[in-house]
Amino acid sequence: MVSLALFALLVTAAVNLSLGQGVKFVIDSGFIAGSKEQLSSAILMLIGLISLLAVGTFSRFYLMSWLGERVSADLRKAVFNRIVTLHPSYFEENRSGELMSRLTTDTALLQSIIGSSFSMALRSMLMLIGGLIMLLITSLKLTLVVICCVPVILVPMIIYGRKVRLLAASSQDAIADIGTYAGEIIQNIKVVQSYTYENLEREAFAGEVEKAFKVAKRRIKQRSLLIAVVIFLTFGAISGMLWMGGMDVLAGKMTGGELGAFVFYAIMVAMSVATVAEVYGELQRAAGSATRLLALLEIESEITELSSPRLMAKDKMTVIEFEQVNFSYPSRPDSLALNNINLVIPTGKIVALVGPSGAGKTTLFELLQRFYDPQQGKVKFNGINITELKLIDLRDAMGMVPQHAILFSSDVWHNIRYGKQEASDEEVIAAAKRAHAHEFIEQLPQGYGSFLGEQGVRLSGGQKQRIALARAILKDPEVLLLDEATSALDAQSEYHVQAALNELMANRTTLIIAHRLATVVDADLIVVMDQGGVVDTGDHQSLLKSSKLYQRLCELQFDKAADQR
């Protein structure tokens, strides 16, 4: 496609240049010689050239625009492919808004620049060179005049052009500010209205808009001035040239056709120079975008795999071990989120993690799924350090129901099927039934085809939680990770979900982070955590006797339960 586009570019440039010869021919052979036949054939030739130009221009425009669109489409895919594999801590350091703008704005800029500005620059360069050669062939003296005029026109263009560009950039920033402001207000519209802040927000927003308008006004003033100056200088120079050339024609040193062709080429050269100068700034902007995109494409995930990872023993039941694990989050390197954790999670058992908020329970799950690697110690799965396993195998073996159910803005089918892509409709429905979600799904306007809204806003917390559970049930993993999975439920749905969970947990290694006593009491092993460390382990009865922290947690639970009654 690139070579086709270049070919079309060359053809159109050549035709454009030969048009000048056509002009010369029409004037000299037609008008001056006074021959009707010659004029007709000259015009026919001109029409032929113009047809060729039309076809060439179509191909050039189509092919270059195609290339621009293709490059940006490929870049979008490449950037997204890279982003989805990056380690989660990358997204703590880089704001999602900024990544989005890489994916949309930067790629769109490249698309428009490759599709139009770059193509314009290439074409203008060709025309500039070709035009200058033709000028030299036509008249050396007048060419020297043109070459002297070029800097006179170019200097104000470059000076003003820079000013305009700077203003254009700040204009863009001002518009981005407008977008950010409006976005925040729209997202928090209920808070705005509930505090009756509409009028104040209106004024503040109007301020942002007017600020952008002021910047834009300065920009368009500079730009209008630039255009006026350039037009004046260009046509002034052409008039001067016409005068000199006209004198030569009158003196018989030059034909009228030659002068006509000369003016044609001079205008072509002037326009080409103007175009190159104008798109130069945009090409620089594109270079900036391209650099940022390429930098993003070069980032490697910090969660690395061995080149030949070890196979997971399928026949063995799953044992999980933490060996002297120390871990701090990359964004908080000074505080240990996990402090010397030693823990064995036996096969097919239910292990409950309890402890105050911030104890490191969720962090333990994150390490197990290798969203982060510990700075010290090992996490083992069936005796193999998880860093030696294939990442897909490791994560396929685990089913996670997070603290806040994560739903995608799609229908119920898609959201449950996230657990197992190839599941049939019947399997999805069976999973929903086991998660006690089938009933309420049936009552949604379009049943399983109902759209759930962004992040599932059209469902209650308990309903979202049950869809997330159905997803994990469908996945049918060896190890189940439940992060306070019943926390968002009311008493009735908790009863339903608990029933579903009991069925799900049977004969499966289950790690459950729980506040509710019901889950904890039945667990085979309870791990009491505090401030990143394991404080006590045991079952409910023994911990009641031996662990101060566990006693306190239980008391709080009972008190709260009593309060709720």
Ligand X SMILES: Nc1ncnc2c1ncn2[C@@H]1O[C@H](COP(=O)(O)OP(=O)(O)O)[C@@H](O)[C@H]1O
**What minimum distance in Å lies between the beta carbon of 358 and ligand X?**
4
Residue 329's binding partner among Mg ion, ligand X, none (Cβ under 5 to 8 angstroms by kind) is ligand X
Angle, CA of 179, 184 and 189, to the nearest 5°: 125
- Name the nearest CA neighbour of 368 among 321, 416, 313: 321
Write the CA distances from 558 to 409, 484, 485, 554, 562, integer angstroms.
38, 18, 20, 6, 6
- Name the nearest CA neighbour of 370 among 426, 325, 307: 325
Q: Rule CB under 6 A: is residue 360 a binding residue for ligand X?
A: yes
**What minimum distance in Å lies between the beta carbon of 546 and ligand X?**
21
Interface ranges with Mg ion (CB under 5 A): 362
Distance CA 223, CA 67 (A): 30
Q: Rule CB under 6 A: is residue 329 a binding residue for ligand X?
A: yes
**DSSP assignment letter at 114:** I
Of the pair 3, 331, the CB lying nearest ligand X is at 331
Distance CA 427, CA 448 (A): 13
Of the pair 143, 510, the CB lying nearest Mg ion is at 510
Stretch that binds ligand X, among 167-175, 294-302, 326-334, 539-547 (CB under 6 A): 326-334
Quick check: 28 and 142 in contact, CB under 8 A?
no
Q: How far apart are the first and last CA of the chain?
A: 73
Distance CA 88, CA 335 (A): 19
Q: Rule CB under 6 A: is residue 66 a binding residue for ligand X?
A: no
Q: Is 367 helix (H, G, I), strand (E, B) or coil?
A: helix
Of the pair 452, 485, the CB lying nearest Mg ion is at 485
**DSSP assignment letter at 301:** P
Of the pair 112, 326, the CB lying nearest ligand X is at 326
Residue 130's binding partner among Mg ion, ligand X, none (Cβ under 5 to 8 angstroms by kind) is none
Residue 358's binding partner among Mg ion, ligand X, none (Cβ under 5 to 8 angstroms by kind) is ligand X
**What minimum distance in Å lies between the beta carbon of 434 and Mg ion?**
25
**What minimum distance in Å lies between the beta carbon of 391 and ligand X?**
20
Q: Which of 112, 339, 362, 385 binds ligand X (CB under 6 A)?
A: 362
Both tokens of 285, joined, read 């902007």
Q: Rule CB under 6 A: is residue 363 a binding residue for ligand X?
A: yes
Stretch that binds ligand X, among 1-9, 356-364, 424-432, 556-564 (CB under 6 A): 356-364
Q: Which of 361, 438, 466, 516 binds ligand X (CB under 6 A)?
A: 361
Q: Rule CB under 6 A: is residue 199 a binding residue for ligand X?
A: no
Of the pair 309, 356, the CB lying nearest ligand X is at 356
Quick check: 142 and 241 in contact, CB under 8 A?
yes
Stretch that binds ligand X, among 115-123, 305-313, 357-365, 538-546 (CB under 6 A): 357-365
Quick check: 264 and 23 in contact, CB under 8 A?
yes
Helices within 188-197 (DSSP H only): 189-194
**What minimum distance in Å lies between the beta carbon of 362 and Mg ion?**
3
Of the pair 309, 402, the CB lying nearest ligand X is at 402
Q: Rule CB under 6 A: is residue 95 a binding residue for ligand X?
A: no
Q: Where in 12-147 does DSSP place strands (E)?
A: none
Our measurement of the distance from residue 400's CA atom to the centroid of its chain's CA atoms, rounded to an integer in Å, reads: 26
Stretch that binds ligand X, among 41-49, 135-143, 359-367, 503-511 (CB under 6 A): 359-367
- Name the nearest CA neighbour of 516 among 468, 460, 557, 545: 557
Q: Where in 331-408 does DSSP place strands (E)?
A: 338-345, 350-354, 376-381, 384-385, 398-401
Distance CA 229, CA 152 (A): 11
**What minimum distance in Å lies between the beta carbon of 92 and Mg ion?**
16
Q: Rule CB under 6 A: is residue 374 a binding residue for ligand X?
A: no
Q: Which of 194, 196, 199, 357 binds ligand X (CB under 6 A)?
A: 357
**What minimum distance in Å lies between the beta carbon of 401 and Mg ion?**
12
Both tokens of 61, joined, read 């425009």
Residue 179's binding partner among ligand X, Mg ion, none (Cβ under 5 to 8 angstroms by kind) is none
Phi, psi for 33 (deg, rounded to 5): -75, -15
Of the pair 214, 332, the CB lying nearest ligand X is at 332
Q: Rule CB under 6 A: is residue 96 a binding residue for ligand X?
A: no
**What minimum distance in Å lies between the beta carbon of 488 and ligand X?**
15
Distance CA 482, CA 493 (A): 16
Residue 359's binding partner among Mg ion, ligand X, none (Cβ under 5 to 8 angstroms by kind) is ligand X
CB-based contacts of 337, cutoff 8 Å, min separation 6: 327, 328, 329, 360, 363, 532
Size of the site for ligand X (CB under 6 A): 13
Of the pair 102, 361, the CB lying nearest ligand X is at 361
Q: Which of 141, 332, 548, 560 binds ligand X (CB under 6 A)?
A: 332
Give the residue carrying structure tokens 């034909």. 255
Our measurement of the distance from residue 503's CA atom to the centroid of its chain's CA atoms, rounded to an integer in Å, reads: 41
Of the pair 189, 556, the CB lying nearest ligand X is at 556
Q: Rule CB under 6 A: is residue 337 a binding residue for ligand X?
A: yes
Both tokens of 224, joined, read 């209008």
Give the residue carrying structure tokens 């955590």. 529
**What minimum distance in Å lies between the beta carbon of 374 and ligand X?**
13
Of the pair 312, 338, the CB lying nearest ligand X is at 338
- Residues in contact with ligand X by CB under 6 A are 92, 329, 331-332, 337, 355, 357-363
